[in-house]
Amino acid sequence: MTQETILANATLVLPGETRTGSIVLQGGVIKDIATGGSVPPGAVDCDGDIVAPGLIELHTDNLERHIQPRPKVDWPHNAAILAHDAELASTGITTVFDAMRVGSIPSGKGRYLKYARDLSSELLALRDEDALKISHFLHLRAEVCSETLVEEMQEFGPEDRVGIVSLMDHTPGQRQFRDISKLEAYVKGKLSMSDAEFVEHVAQLKELRAHYGDHHEAEAVAAAKRYGAVLASHDDTTEAQVAVSAAHGISMAEFPTTLEAAKACHAHNIPVIMGAPNLIRGGSHSGNVAAHDLAEAGYLDIMSSDYVPAALLLAAARLSEQWGDWAKGLATVTANPARAVGLEDRGEIAIGKRADLIRFAMRGGAPALRSVWSRGSRVA
């Protein structure tokens, strides 16, 4: 018989409300939900801890950090993937869209070489072997300021489980890096460029945008349709840029850099994603709009851990406190991202949904994670 797990005497974060109750897990799904604090024989007594859906991460660069832990260090990929998977599980993330750059610059200074096709194949092979703790999809970050975007995107197809394609335009002087001094500090620190090399790097990116940008953007939009993937914008700054995104059929906006852009996204019914580190730190490391301000204005829908996986649950807890509503705060990392990418089988505690769950308690203003279940099996 399929093993049954009962989580009892828990503070359940349900759609739109929280209440004391219990959940029965069986066959990888939620079989039953009951109200009350009783603890049946054999059940896990949660002692009033919060039990919520597993977290859904739509944009994280964490896998890239594992395959290249230092500049010019290429770590064994299978080991990196398994370590990344285990790290995410340990933070409460049970579904992840692993961001991988497509579009390389093999020539000039600040070279970026191709890696996404091989890495995604290795990831999908481990998934097929059931070697991973949590659920993985692909998120292709389409860099329009590149030389090889079209060729790299042609290497992927509908069978590759590409869930998101985001349009990335990192041309210096606009979007994320309107302030070129912020780009200079970032690139010099990451790639150890000299002043002259940085000037050459900026000139090269501007030249690539002028030569390839519009064509690459159109090809990325077409590729997303071919894959059956959700299309995302990235770093929209103005109403005009949001209008272009809406015309492309964008389904979500990653990290708009201004209140103006976030407001325009909502006018076009485009959900807004902001970075958890931005919320926790109180502002953007690039000097852009603060996530807290968008939350206050009602223009924040989804949180992403971005470059700190453990930030996702903490950010949801901070939002829950800011809004005075745990169901609303947790929805930014569960139901809302699930809805944005069309995953109807998860993101809520409801009968028949996947048994992806987390249990945590608040300690010193931060969530202390105690248990994580993926498809009903405890993975952390």
pLDDT of residue 1: 47
262 shares its domain with 370: no
Distance between CA atoms of residues 250 and 167, nearest Å: 9
List CB contacts of 221: < 8 A, sequence separation 6 or more. Answer: 167, 231, 248, 249
140 shares its domain with 171: yes
228 shares its domain with 360: no
- Phi, psi at 289, each rounded to 5°: -60, 145
pLDDT of 311 strictly over 80 = yes
Percent of the chain whose pLDDT exceeds 70: 89
Distance between CA atoms of residues 80 and 261, nearest Å: 36
Q: What is the pLDDT of residues 194-248, one digit of tens each?
A: 777 667 667 777 777 777 768 899 999 999 999 999 999 999 999 999 999 999 9
pLDDT of 182 strictly over 90 = no
Distance between CA atoms of residues 286 and 54, nearest Å: 30
Distance between CA atoms of residues 232 and 139, nearest Å: 10
2 shares its domain with 109: no
Q: Tell me how crowded residue 275 is: count the other CB atoms within 10 A of its CB.
A: 24
11 shares its domain with 95: no
Distance between CA atoms of residues 244 and 45, nearest Å: 52
368 shares its domain with 337: no
Selection from 280, 325, 329 nearest residue 301 by Cα: 329
What is the rounded (10 degree) CA torsion for 298, 330, 233, 119?
170
111 shares its domain with 60: yes
Q: Per residue in 135-152, is it b (16+ CB within 10 Å) or e — as a string?
A: bbbbbbbbbbbbbbbbeb
Q: What is the pLDDT of residues 109-165, one digit of tens each?
A: 656 789 999 999 999 999 999 999 999 999 999 998 888 999 999 999 999 999 999
Identify the helix (H) or strand (E) that includes residue 9: strand 4-14
Domain tally for the chain? 2
What's the CATH code of the domain at 369?
A: 2.30.40.10
46 shares its domain with 132: no
User: pLDDT band for position 14 (50/70/90)?
Assistant: very high
22 shares its domain with 60: no
Q: If you search the block for the tokens 């998934």, which residue do you land on? A: 127
108 shares its domain with 169: yes
What's the CATH code of the domain at 300?
A: 3.20.20.140
213 shares its domain with 350: no
3-class secondary structure per residue, 273-327: EEEHHHHHHCCCCCCCCCHHHHHHHCCCCEEECECCCCHHHHHHHHHHHHHCCHH
The pTM assigned to this predicted structure is 0.91
1 shares its domain with 144: no
Q: What is the residue range of 1's domain?
A: 1-54+346-380
Distance between CA atoms of residues 211 and 217, nearest Å: 12
Tokens of 65: 């950090």
